[in-house]
Structure 1
Amino acid sequence: MEALYLGCLVGGVLFALVTVVLGDLLSTALDGILDFLSLDILKPTVVASAITVFGGAGILLTRYTELNLVPNLIISIVVAIFIAVLVYFFYVKPMENSENSTGYSIHDLVGKIGEITIPLPAIGYGEVMVKIGATNVLHIASSFEQHEIPVGTRVVIVEEADGVLRVTEFDNTRGDEV
């Protein structure tokens, strides 16, 4: 039985290494063929941790306790399931929720406050800088009301048309900080 535990311990560690190293390559090569098999709780990290802990717990219980085969096996399975659940809820699930994307749609900018970096003529184009997350992005802009807007003026993005942000001056008469 110790050979099974040792095999699970080594196999779990190797599985973890292979999925880390080859996971993206295999996923790309299969092009999502096996996606229907994926259950949220059966992530490779969770499965590898369960197999590894099962093997490790089995080896420790065999060597350092006087338990028989069945209690040893049951305790190893329970410990493996417990650790796998902990790994899922305290590592995998929070990591899925913490993923950030720097991508955005130009349509998401409507309603945002920006600052003119290249002056806008009454008819024509300039440039506006808008803060997205932790970075600033620059976009071509034109005056919504066809008024000149100088550099440094805070503006509100009214609409997007053909990749051009149409802006108007930001009127902050209430004194609110945005």
Structure 2
Amino acid sequence: MESVFDGLSEFLNPLLLFGTLSVIGGSGVLLTKYSELNGLIVLLSSVLIGGAAYFLIYYFMVIPMANAESSTSISINDLEGAIGEVITTIPADGMGEVFIQSPNGSRNEIAKSFDKQEIKQGTKILVIQVEDQILFVSELTEL
């Protein structure tokens, strides 16, 4: 369920607020120093310039960043079929640790033997199944 405050929180983004306040302050300082305008007119002009900056920042920075891809990481479920290496020996009925390298980076994961056999450190493995955040692996044999 979406609340009224969801849209408001995007509109009151800290990037927008601090950017707008900076533009209001900067334009106020510049107008005070380099013009002969009355203080009230400087204040109103600065607020108008800040409002314009607010909408420019919103439409050219906040919206594109919100639509951008936020992560390049992969889910643990995407590791099925991946090849890795045992870094902590996996006992027949226990757990060990495997190292898996992917284009998105490398990661260490907890693993159990799919075949219920001990897999020694340094052995190449294949991820057969992922269940409850645990990789079930089998020793990779060459054909």
Q: Tell me if TM exceeds 0.5.
A: yes
- Partner residue, 2:97: 128
- What is the match of residue 110 of structure 2? 139
Residues 112 and 85 of structure 1, relative CA distance in 2, 3 Å threshold = farther
Q: 1:119 to 1:58 in 2, by over 3 A?
A: closer
TM-score, length-scaled by structure 2: 0.58
For the Cα contact (< 8 Å) 1:41–1:88, is it kept in 2? no
**Partner of residue 15 from structure 2, selected from 45, 48, 62:** 45
User: Deviations 1:47-72 (Å, cap 9, x if unpaired)?
Assistant: 23213321331232133114576698
Measured against aligned partners, the alpha-carbon deviations of 1:60-100 in whole angstroms (never above 9, x if no partner) come to 21331145766984475235533773488558965995866
Check the 8 A contact 2:100/2:108 in 1, yes or no. yes
**How far did residue 118 of structure 1 move?**
4.1
Pairwise CA RMSD: 4.4
Runs of 5+ unmatched residues, structure 2: none
Identity %: 25
1:98-177 aligned at under 5 Å gives the runs: 106-120=76-90, 123-131=92-100, 136-144=107-115, 149-161=119-131, 164-170=134-140
1:9-88 to 2 correspondences below 5 Å: 35-67=5-37, 73-74=44-45, 77-78=48-49, 81-82=52-53, 85-86=56-57
Instruction: Decide whether aligned partners of structure 1 residues 51 and 164 sit closer, same or farther in structure 2, where only a CA change above 3 A counts.
Output: closer
Which structure shows the bigger proportion of residues in strand conformation?
Answer: 2
Q: CA deviation at 1:157?
A: 0.7
Q: Distance in 1 between matches of 2:135 and 2:21?
A: 54
Number of aligned residues: 138
Q: Any idea what SS the aligned residue of 1:152 has?
A: coil
Conservation of the 8 A alpha-carbon contact between 2:87 and 2:98: yes
Structure in which a larger fraction of residues adopt helix: 1
SS in 2 for 1:151: coil
Question: CA 1:128/1:114 → structure 2, altered by over 3 Å: closer, same or farther?
Answer: farther
